[in-house]
A and B are shown apart, each in its own frame.
Chain A
Amino acid sequence: MVEVNLWSGLRSLTGGRQVVEVEASDTGELLRELVRAYPALQGPIDAGVSVAVDGRIIAGSLNEPIRPDSEVYLMQRLRGG
């Protein structure tokens, strides 16, 4: 299982939990499993998220590997100028 840290604004969509656990081996699977476990996360994920894996911010790629002990954070999709 991978521990996923959410930003606190998402707590209202996960029954108050800011850290959730899902089974996933890459970033795409992580997002799919998050929605399966917490359907209300579909909104923020559709609106655009990035995933930080062990400090590396994955802006949008769905095929980046995740290890069970990886530090994983869901982040708002980054926008640049």
Chain B
Amino acid sequence: MALDDRKSDFKFVGTRPDRPDGLDKVTGRAKFGADAHAPGMLHGAILRSPHAHARIVKIDTSKAEALKDVKAVITRADFSDKVPFKPGLEGEFWNVLENVMAGEKALYDGHAVAAVAATSALAARDALKQIEVEYEVLPHVTDVDKAMAPDAPVIREGAADYSVPEGMHPNVVRYHESGHGDVEAGFAEADLVIEDSFVTEATHQGYIEPHACLASLGNDGKGELWCCTQGHWIVQKTCAALLGMETSNLRVTASEIGGGFGGKTTVFIEPVALALSRKANRPVKVVMNRSEVFRATGPTSSASMDVKIGMKKDGTITAAEGIFRLQGGAFPGAPGDMTAMCGFAPYNLTNVRQVGYDVMANRPKQAAYRAPGAPMGAFAVESVIDELCNKLGLDPIDVRLKNAAYEGTKASYGPRYGRIGLVETLEAAKAHPHYAAPLKPGQGRGIACGFWFNHGGETSVSLALSEDGSAQLMVGTPDIGGSRASMALMAAEVLGIPYENIRVTVADTATLGYNDVSHGSRVTYASGLATIKAARNAVEKLCERAAAKWGIPVDAVKWEDGCAVPSGPNAGDFDPMPLADITTNMGSTGGPISGHFEATPEGAGVSFGTHIVDAEVDPETGKTAVTRYTVIQDAGKAIHPAYVEGQYQGGAVQGIGWALNEEYIYGEDGRLQNSIFLDYRIPVASDLPMIDTVIVEVPNPGHPFGVRGVGETGIVPPLAAIANAVSNAAGVRMRQLPMSPPRILAALKDNG
């Protein structure tokens, strides 16, 4: 649903110009991670553990080193020995080092144990076969519930932080509990209480571009790194720590990025390539293959959850309780706390209690995946609400409206909400033709709400004007969702010059101040806010120059439609002075004109969405088809609506994959069984209906134009909305994801 019929005070914001990177991407001119080359470049390859859990007794690299094409072989000994181990997430640099190159133990199938740099990619891969690793295979565990059981093998002693109650298994490394009211009293008031258990499998972010980088680290200690990442400053900081370098000696440039979704917010191959380059004294390129991406980069957590909700006959929720156990691989970091805090966040609850566990298992280190932790919790919570609606004969949107959080509601995680837009998304859902459309026999409809916090983060932006009146904008957040277009629109709005006259560049770590990663749906919010303020900073200087030319005080000049104009009738009678008339001789009127802004903006504003899904189930084969899908989400203010719709559609599609097909499948030996796209099936265009979108705009008071992040919330409701649709179509509650054909058939059979 377009916004074209709405009146707007904006001239550029809210329009849909062509994307600035479009031609580059369709012609192949865009340079991605693997597109970089350097004179004398070597190719790196990484040896990975075939065992889920094994002590590394000995690594003999002598045969590989003797090969004439091999220029360097590295193991853990080639990294810094000064990265300290600390419990929980406090020791995150140590955790990352342990993940990019194993120390005493291999902790999962695919864990890196050594690496080679050779004159060709083939020679490097061949040389891996000449490295002899002696393993002592240890018992392993990959399932979250089994990893918490008393007899589970201990993955690492001492990893648990302060929060874990006494008596828990050492694999439980973090514990969260929050809520308010008295849940037992609340359940006693309910007319119906439903308690149920749910399971989700780990899924991969599934970005199309595998990790790739080109590293050069010379004898002078100065390094250059080109890589595919969501945040090159965190790459710089982490690599410097892992290699024992000064941060400023490493310059990192972000390549064009073929998807990230949270999975490229950390490092995997980058420190390895730098260590190889330092040892070989030549540039080294490392490119992962898809199997390495699946085996050794971050999937989501898997989850096991118990949810109990009490409801009155009129739909009022009297109490809600959730236990959320998240498995995050062989390292701390599974977002059980986020799952717990987000699960009940859409609702205005008097009595609520939520518990989250962060559990280690012999799997790759989990990484963020759009609203990390929230989709699983929403699946469990919204499934129970759906079941309550079915049992009590209530409309699922009416029940959600009755219990919906609004401005002033005490959130399930504590504070009171500011201005939020959940009610508006529910009202838009109820009014949407999709909700009134009849269903065919065999089809079911599902509704679900979702919540995400959004984030601000460190942000620095510079804007430089050219003599001809065009502008160059330098941001530090890699463009994973169309941010160059959005930034140009926001700068155009402030400067009053055409969108096409603004070129936006993602600057490297040596040319701009620190920028937090492109994550937490923060870019349009935080880089956007900084862009607006940098442009306003430039406008102040433009007004100063105009005031000087006119010989009037600067406060008698204002900026309007790309021109300096007198601020009122008393300021003097001067014709508007266009931006280009000021910049044309700026060198002789005070020097170049730039704008700059840096801050850690703290007004991101939380976000809600409501999804409507129709699904049908083939009772013969168990195959599920999503027949209609509508996403309704609060964007605060859509800067470039086509990109916002793209984010909504992408979230829904990734959710469809997570709900119906995608899963990490481990064998009894703890090895990943499906590490290629043929066996790990993501949805393709022919699997999908058109995803309809509705942009709700409840402005965020923390942003000059009202922006709320939109990148993550879109993946929170789908698992639940699809599960509700499929459960209603099949006539049986689906409690485990993915709802693959064998699971659907088994559920139908169990249901008689």
Contact = CB atoms under 8 A, between A and B. Distances in A.
The yes or no verdict on A and B being binding partners is: yes
Interface of A: 5, 7-9, 12-13, 40, 43-44, 46-48, 52, 54-61, 64, 71, 73, 75-76, 78-81
A56 B414 CA distance: 11
A81 B453 CA distance: 11
Given A7-B177, A79-B368, A81-B265, A52 B162 contact: no
A47 B604 CA distance: 22
B262 A81 contact: yes
B415 interface: yes
B162 A79 contact: no
Contacts of B372: 79-81
B25 interface: no
B90 A57 contact: no
Contacts of B335: 79
A64 to B, nearest CB: 6
Contacts of B702: 56
Contacts of A43: 161-163
B590 to A, nearest CB: 32
A47 B161 contact: yes
A31 to B, nearest CB: 15
A12 B176 CA distance: 12
Interface of B: 88-90, 161-163, 165, 175-179, 261-263, 265, 335, 337-338, 341, 353, 367-372, 413-418, 453-457, 519-522, 600, 602-604, 606, 702, 712
Given A76-B337, A81-B372, A47 B415 contact: no
A78 B455 contact: yes
A44 B602 CA distance: 21
Given A9-B178, A78-B453, A80-B521, A59 B371 contact: no
Contacts of A12: 165
Contacts of A81: 261-263, 265, 367-372, 519-520, 712
Contacts of A5: 414-415
Query: Among the interface residues A7, A46, A75, which one has the most CB atoms of the partner chain B within 10 A?
Result: A7
Nearest to A58: B602
B237 to A, nearest CB: 15
A80 B178 contact: no
Given A8-B353, A40-B162, A55-B415, 16 more contacts: A7-B413, A8-B177, A43-B161, A56-B702, A57-B415, A58-B602, A61-B600, A73-B414, A75-B415, A79-B338, A80-B262, A80-B455, A80-B520, A80-B712, A81-B371, A81-B520
A56 B407 CA distance: 12
A56 B602 contact: yes
Contacts of B175: 9
14 contacts: A7-B413, A40-B162, A47-B88, A52-B415, A55-B418, A57-B604, A61-B602, A73-B415, A76-B176, A76-B341, A79-B338, A79-B372, A80-B453, A81-B263
A60 B514 CA distance: 15
A70 to B, nearest CB: 10
Contact of B417 (A13, A48, A55, A78): A55
Contact of B603 (A52, A56, A80): A56
A-B pairs, top 10 by smallest CB distance, nearest first, are A80-B520, A81-B262, A81-B368, A43-B162, A52-B415, A9-B177, A73-B414, A7-B178, A80-B519, A73-B415
B415 A71 contact: yes
Contacts of A79: 335, 338, 368, 372, 520
Tell me which of B178, B367, B521, B603 has the highest count of chain A C-beta atoms within 10 A of its own C-beta: B178
A73 B265 CA distance: 28
B163 A9 contact: yes
A54 B701 CA distance: 13
A56 B418 contact: yes
B251 to A, nearest CB: 26
Contacts of B265: 81
Given A52-B415, A81-B369, A59 B456 contact: yes
Contacts of B454: 80
Contact of A75 (B262, B413, B519): B413
Given A13-B162, A47-B88, A80-B712, A52 B414 contact: yes
A40 B162 CA distance: 9
A7 B418 contact: no
Contacts of A40: 162
Contacts of A13: 162
Contact of A46 (B90, B176, B177, B606): B90
B411 to A, nearest CB: 8
A8 B413 contact: no
A78 to B, nearest CB: 5
B656 to A, nearest CB: 18
A65 to B, nearest CB: 11
Contacts of A57: 415, 453, 602, 604, 606
A13 B88 CA distance: 17
Nearest to B457: A59
Most buried by A among B176, B353, B414, B453: B414
Give the residue among A5, A47, A73, A81 with the most B Cβ atoms within 10 A.
A81
Contacts of A78: 338, 453, 455, 520
A8 B178 contact: yes
Contacts of A8: 177-179, 353
Contact of B89 (A47, A56, A73, A80): A47
A47 B175 CA distance: 12
A76 B162 CA distance: 13
Contacts of B371: 80-81
A70 B163 CA distance: 27
Nearest to A77: B89
A21 to B, nearest CB: 17
B140 to A, nearest CB: 27
Contacts of A80: 262, 368, 371-372, 453-455, 519-522, 712
A8 B165 CA distance: 13
A78 B373 CA distance: 11
Nearest to B178: A7
Contacts of A47: 88-90, 161-163
B469 to A, nearest CB: 36
Most chain B C-beta atoms within 10 Å of own C-beta, residue among A8, A55, A64: A55
A44 B163 contact: yes
Given A73-B414, A80-B455, A80-B712, A64 B176 contact: no
A64 B370 CA distance: 28
Nearest to B369: A81
Contacts of A48: 89
Contacts of B413: 7, 73, 75
A60 B265 CA distance: 18
Contact of B602 (A9, A55, A59, A71): A59
B86 to A, nearest CB: 9
A75 B521 CA distance: 19
A78 B335 CA distance: 9
Contact of B416 (A44, A61, A64, A71): A71
Contacts of A71: 415-416
